[in-house]
Structure 1
Amino acid sequence: MITIKNNMFHLATENTSYIFYINESGIAEHLYYGKRLKNPEYDIDALREKRLTPRVNETSLSPTDTTLQLNNLMSEFSTEDKGDYRTPSIAISYGKKKLRTLDLRFKSFSQFQGIERMKSPLFQAIGIDQKSYGISLEFVDSVAGVKALFYYTLFDDSDVIARRTVIENIGSETLILRSIYSLQLDLPEHNYDLITLNGAQLRERHPISRPLEQGIIINETRKGASSSESNPAIFLKHRGNDECYMTNLIYSGSHREVAEVNQFGKTHILTGINDSTFEAELEPASAFESPEAIMLYSQFGLNDLKNKMHYFVREHIQRGVWKNRLRPVSFNTWEALHFNFDEHGIIKQIKEAAELGFELFVLDDGWFSVRNDGTTSLGDWTVNTLKIPSGISQISKECHRRGMLFGLWFEPEMVSLDTKILKAHPDWLLGDPARKTHAVQRNQYFLDITREDVQDYLLNTIKLLIQNGSIDHIKWDMNRHLSDIFSVNPEIRNMGEYQHRYILALNRMQRILTSAFPNLSIENCASGGARFDLGMLTTGTTIWTSDSTDGVERLKIMEGTTMAYPLSVCGTCVSPSPNYATFRAIDLETRFDVAFFGVLSYSLDLVKLSKAEKEAIKKQIEFYKQYRQVVQFGIFSCEEKNGITYFTAASPDRTTILVLYMQTLLTSNCFDDILRVPLASENYVYRVTRRDDNAPIWDIGGDVRGYKKEEEAYEVSGDTLKWAGIKLSTRYSGSGYQTGMRVMPDFSSRLYIIKKL
């Protein structure tokens, strides 16, 4: 509901209120964002700041109102050169002297039902009239020749507000747009911890918390992708209660988030395109549209916040036939075989996969041109007939004949130097031809996909393979960062636009593919999780969470990832042990228990597995299929305490709950464990059992020389399970072994099944 009265705008979702006021000078003052207020339009005097005298040593907007000082005003946007010295949300240059003064004043507003479609090729959140509606505000600076439109779209069912900014040149000369953030959120205090999702390849999206204090914290990437180092999702957690906020960006390119506290203790949040890699020229009558950003508030803590966001991603970001469809259990050849396969070997893997219960078989890197290692052939997307003489269609037929879908790996944005396509089109290589060498990563370079002829080549090639090969699924990979930006594309006059145009081209290609093949599922990947963002989820069914498939490393990765993204989009994997990246050996059952929480895949040489391993995997897959509705589309929480990580997935009605208990390092003479389940319903009685697995029989020596795994089962009321918890059987830690004790060496787990009686 949107209420407008006496220049106050009250944007109310089901549980939140976002309020601003157009003051006497035409400036949009931000008043409040938080728990829904009943009738705030009667409380304007209470909500507005009292400015009785100018702040000492602060700049006033005008001599007629010296108390209006933008540097200390909570506002809906910020500009340069009018006394606001915080990071601006909009920055321009215009005229021969490249003036930077921008003084935008309110002109009008317009309401809309549903969503207001973006004019650019960028993706945005989707909605229907009954669940979404919004408002746009128009501000103008006639001297600079600038019109700014600020869009707010409300999604009642998830309490999300989506925002974006449009800058239009209404003057007679070209202007330079230097910054355009999608969202500004000003808050009256700074008693928050800022949580960002940071890391690197193989350890993406670890949650990092730091207190807000006077100064600036920047969360950014300049690499041309949302990156492994700094995800665009950020969170504010109040230090005195459970109130929290989050923002995120529907964008896959370089981004920047600013968390700034001024000298008066006010918080200033920005998110949008990274302005250090961006500059756009706007001709008269032209406009630039920012990506859409989203914001969300909860008074009930981070778990409530993230589950609302999970719902929003599933309902308003993802689209197409796979939106609400259960994700298949897949087998991927990469960690199983790498480049070392031929048609005969692949057919043997397909046979084994079908017998074990897999539903999707993905042939990864190495199937095309002369690609037998990572140094060659990218861009020449023709089948390697020496490896696969019968062609991709025969592999696909074999999968379909055995009841599995078939998927194929591509890295469309990349090219190797020694390829036929680059010899035929040397100008398709991204980079300045005047330079003898370009920066290289993984022996590969970028195709200039901003050119439509390059896009057309890639799309036609992939379409032909999909059609002729009856391909159901593609894994779209991208394994390096942008560099050497130089394009002969005549539409790009300023290379400051290139990174953004690159993302527009990427969006266009995936949109065309999913439109041409509505049943196609896309698994996005970028050196693992370097492009794990809302933009890629508008076309992708899932995203490969990380190239780290180690069961311990994945704990922190999944903790951070699920703060912003649901399990239904997180690709997980049971891979060989010891792990290639950590050399850590973890038993098969524990690897499964961790990978269970996500979209399950395996990458093991199925032909070489023992009979016992095959039986275990078949049993694991059956178990996952039984409960994947809960995992993929339920409610999720995670926590770590006393060296134990708990993942909990619950059905929305709380009748079925799955809990991972994962121990990393065993502590001698360790603490007793209490299994509390906050997602349990107080109104139910539950039966709690442990997953029946094929975990190894440990022969540790001393007291423990082979043992029967504990059989814990309980019937317990929901309120006891939620608040008091179950005191679990004692963990063995050195002496006095008794039957029924939990023997748990390093890197071991339990998966508890909790069902309503």
Structure 2
Amino acid sequence: MPIIFDQEKGFFHLKNSEISYIIGLEKNKYITHRYYGPVLSSYAGSNQLQMIDRGFATNPDSQERTFSLNALPLETSSQGNGDHRISNYQIRNHFGQNVTNFIYYTHEITEGKKILPSLPSLRGNNVTTLAITLKDHNQNLLMTLTYNLYENYPVITRNVHFENQGYETVYLENAGSLLIDFPSTDYELVTLNGSHTCEANIARQKLHPGIQKIESSRGTSSPQHQPFLALVNPETTETSGPVFAFHFVYSGNFVAQVEVEQYGSSRLQMGINPDNFEWQLQPKAIFQTPEVVMNYSQRGFNQMSQTFHQIYQKELIPTGFINKERPILLNTWEANYFEFAETALLEQAQKAKDLGIELFVLDDGWFGKRDDSSSSLGDWQTDLNKLPHGLKDLSEKIHALGMQFGLWFEPEMISKNSDLFRAHPDWALQVQNYPMTEGRRQLVLDLSREEIQDYLVHVLSQHLEEAKIDYVKWDMNRHLTEIGNVILPPEQQKELSHRYVLGLYRILAKLTQKFPSVLFENCSSGGGRFDPGMMAYMPQTWTSDNSDALCRSIIQYGYSYLYPPIMLSAHVSDVPNHQVGRITPLNTRGLIAMSGNFGYELDLAKQTETDLIEISQQVAFYKEHRKLLQFGEFYRLQAPDKNFASAWLFKNQTEVLVIYSNGLAQPAVPIHYLKMIYLDNHANYQELASGEQFSGSELNHAGMLIPRIKEDFATVMYHFKKVD
């Protein structure tokens, strides 16, 4: 069994072919962290704990001054009795006091992995689970730390389960999912940060004394910070060195933080953001935290990414899309915005069909009186002025062309200028006596309420059934404000942010179970809610509202740390680009978009004949190599440099595709040989454009010459086939 409990020595050893994770049981009370890293053949406690009489320390046993919770490496924090480092939980009792004393109670080792109630989580057949239950005997509270060890990945997932077996109501003020005390501070912290239209910038900084954290209190995981962090050694690179990576499977407020504390250890904690969070835990009630994916790499960021890519594609997204090819689409947004007519849409669809495009997506503006962003969200009735024959008729005509049909929704929002708001003003999030702050001229529906959840499921189900929708772009274009409602009592108002997320998950679970063949695409003004929680229901995400090829090469590069290209929707848009005004070659726009989930977002009627021919060639090329680009292994070859040049590689058993983007052209550039690194050293490869053959070892170590490029934002592609 891959999880062993040594009762005599008080150790749990979680072990597969790549990693070991050691948990200690100290004094049969305290759960300590002893080791996490490369697999150990066995463990006998060589890295024993050192007990020192620390000045200013408090001691659970007054006769044992060398034993202090404030210096012990723990698997969860304590509260109010000596551990003063960042906390993974906080409970307020019915007296209003914040003291608990959780000690080891029992444990269970089982095969398989339980589904978390009401929350998304990784699946897994080859999983062994360790559940360690701690108990506060004074209040009859249970806290269960769950560890799911994957046999075929260097991955452990963790979550925490709270249960009130007492007779008094208590309040969870902090409900974290993971805490680890690393016995060193010689790490660097890696995060993905950004903003709307500038997501997933890779940041790396040395740990320093105190607390370094990223967080969101916006109601969603946010474009500002991906719910991810990693600890790495200073010498860790793309291909070598250890990476301890942590990713939160949750779509709401979160915190991820590291504290370098006084005695040379680093405490890492991740979970729901405790700011403005509280949960009433009544007698017999439970609270389940979301899970954290722990991913250990011995071979740098590349192995970390390969693990995330594989496990998310196989064990997270809806099962019907694990091996399902994604269609090439045309989205109407940047071509039309809110202004369109049915005849023009059908003309666009016919042009798209003639070019080989497979899916026609009607974006915002098809419902209510939606001529701009000021009205009609919530009124999901077809605007017959724009679509006089109705949505069903349009869908049938699109399907008659041999294309699929997709539709944009923003179900979580409501406009003040809408019939729905006039009928149900209390359905919007609001706080009594305060104005309802608008964002993009819209308010947010209170998804914590089951009747609103059921209403949205009903309305969307009607459209999906009647109009035969193949694809849904699910948008969410603002963050949450005035997080309150008229239903919950005052002592439960701080539950609303989490209840909102749970309500969203309930809606998505019902819709995706009811319509398993519909391709749902996640969007929140691009990457505003791009997280593993959403990916459990929607197998791809509109990566960024910024469709500029140069910006996208950087954004997609950053997101590739965590997600495979098939999950990163990417479109060829018009030039000058609508976000930054840049003009880039159509070839570059095509190759950057093909490096994600490929589509177009431009007015085909305004393209030159030359451009239309090139688009048809891009579509044909992508179809020919779709399996490689969507399901092949993805490797980063060169991080964006000061001139924004970058490179990456796709490969499968027979083909290799390399894309180099030069960014800004420079004078007096040095000679550059791009090393492929990841090819089979013992195989031969033919470069299809020239017909020349090279050994894998030559391409890996000597590299291919990047030609002198006298043009901004150009791209070079090398296409190889493995030969006997």
Task: Please report the TM-score for the alignment, with normalisation by the length of structure 1.
Answer: 0.92
Give the 3-state SS of the residue equivalent to 1:135 in structure 2: strand
Secondary structure of 2:259's match? strand
Q: Paired residue for 2:579?
A: 581
Per-residue Cα deviation, 1:159-194 (whole angstroms, up to 9, x for no partner): 211100011112221111011111112211121111
1:227-253: CA deviation from partner (whole Å, max 9, x where unpaired): 000110111111145011100111000
Does the 8 Å contact 1:102/1:141 carry over to 2?
yes
Q: The residue matched to 1:506 in structure 2 has which SS? A: helix
Equivalent residue for 1:441, pick from 435, 439, 442? 439
1:642 shift after superposition: 6.8
Deviates more, 1:625-634 or 1:660-669: 625-634
**Separation of aligned partners in 2, 1:69 and 1:359:** 64
Taking the TM superposition and a 5 Å limit, the aligned residue runs for 1:171-250 are 171-241=166-236, 242-250=241-249
In structure 2, distance between residues paired with 1:493 and 1:121? 22
Gaps of 5+ in 1: 691-711, 732-742
Cα offset, 1:4, TM superposition = 1.2
The whole-number CA distance in structure 2 between the counterparts of 1:469 and 1:527 is 25
Q: Identify the residue that residue 370 of structure 1 maps to in structure 2.
A: 369
C-alpha change, 1:457 and 1:23, in structure 2 (3 Å) is: same
Letter of the aligned partner of 2:122 in structure 1?
A
Distance in 1, Cα, partners of 2:514 & 2:354: 32
- Report the secondary structure of 1:508's partner residue: helix
Residue identity matched to 1:530: G
SS at match of 1:216: strand
Alpha-carbon distance in 1 for matches of 2:608, 2:93:
71
Task: List per-residue Cα deviations over 1:620-671 (Å, max 9, x = no partner).
Answer: 0111122222222222222225746334333343x32211110111111111
Quick one: which of 459, 465, 472 aligns to 1:461?
A: 459
Equivalent positions of 1:712-727 (< 5 A) are 714-727=692-705
The one-letter amino acid of 2:325's match is L
**Separation (CA, whole Å) in 1 of partners of 2:400 and 2:489:** 48
Cα distance change on mapping 1:426 and 1:727 into 2, 3 Å: closer
Cα contact 1:220–1:255 (8 A) shared by 2: yes
| Structure 2 counterparts to residues 67-78 of structure 1, below 5 A | 67-78=66-77
| C-alpha distance in structure 2 between counterparts of 1:79 and 1:645, whole Å | 48
Residues 144 and 744 (structure 1), Cα distance of their counterparts in 2 relative to 1, 3 Å cut: farther
2:503 alignment partner AA: A
- Quick check: 1:593–1:750 contact (8 Å CA) kept in 2? no
Query: What does residue range 381-530 of structure 1 map to in structure 2 within 5 Å?
Result: 381-435=380-434, 437-490=435-488, 493-530=491-528
Q: Is 1:125 matched with 2:126?
A: no
Deviations 1:94-114 (A, max 9, x none): 132x22122211011112221
2:374 and 2:417 in contact (8 A); partners too:
no
Shift of 1:493: 4.7
> Counterparts of 1:434 and 1:4 in 2: how far apart (Å)?
57
* Contact 2:646-2:662 within 8 A present in 1 as well: no
Find the counterpart in structure 2 of residue 622 from structure 1.
620
The answer to whether the 8 A contact 1:147-1:167 is kept is yes
Residue 660 of structure 2 aligns to a residue whose secondary structure is strand
SS of alignment partner, residue 629 of structure 2:
helix
Correspondences of 1:252-401 after superposition (within 5 Å) = 252-401=251-400
Q: Which moved more, 1:484-493 or 1:28-37?
A: 484-493
Cα deviation, 1:575-616, whole Å, max 9, x if unaligned, reads 011111111110111111111111001001112222111110
Rounded to whole Å, the distance in 1 between the matches of 2:115 and 2:675 is: 45
Instruction: State the partner residue of 2:133.
Output: 138
Q: Distance between the aligned counterparts of 1:719 and 1:541, measured in 2? A: 36
Which letter does structure 2 place at the counterpart of 1:202? T
Distance in 2, matches of 1:642 and 1:606, equals: 34
Distance in 2, matches of 1:643 and 1:673, equals 14
Cross-structure match for 1:36? 39
User: Which residue in the other structure is 1:544 paired with?
Assistant: 542
The separation in 2 between residues aligned to 1:209 and 1:689, in whole angstroms, is 38
- Alpha-carbon separation, structure 1, partners of 2:65 and 2:280: 35
Paired residues of 1:331 and 1:602 also in contact (CA < 8 A): yes
Say whether the 8 Å CA contact 1:636–1:647 is kept in structure 2: no
The answer to whether the 8 Å contact 1:646/1:659 transfers is: no
Q: CA deviation at 1:684?
A: 0.8
Alignment partner of 1:27 is 2:30 = yes
Displacement of 1:355 after TM fit?
A: 1.0
Instruction: State the AA in 1 paired with 2:697.
Output: D
Distance 1:290 1:492 in 2: 23
Q: Distance in 1 between matches of 2:377 and 2:581?
A: 30
- The separation in 2 between residues aligned to 1:20 and 1:541, in whole angstroms, is 35
- Once residues 123 and 522 of structure 2 are traced to their aligned partners in structure 1, the CA distance between those partners, rounded to angstroms, is 20
SS in 2 for 1:438: coil
Deviations 1:547-596 (A, max 9, x none): 00011111221121111111111111100111111111101111111111
SS at match of 1:230: coil
Corresponding residue for 1:746? 712
> C-alpha displacement at 1:122, in angstroms?
0.9
Structure 2, gaps ≥5 residues long: none
Q: What CA RMSD, in Å, does the superposition of the two structures yield over aligned residues?
A: 1.5
Quick check: 2:213–2:256 contact (8 Å CA) kept in 1? yes
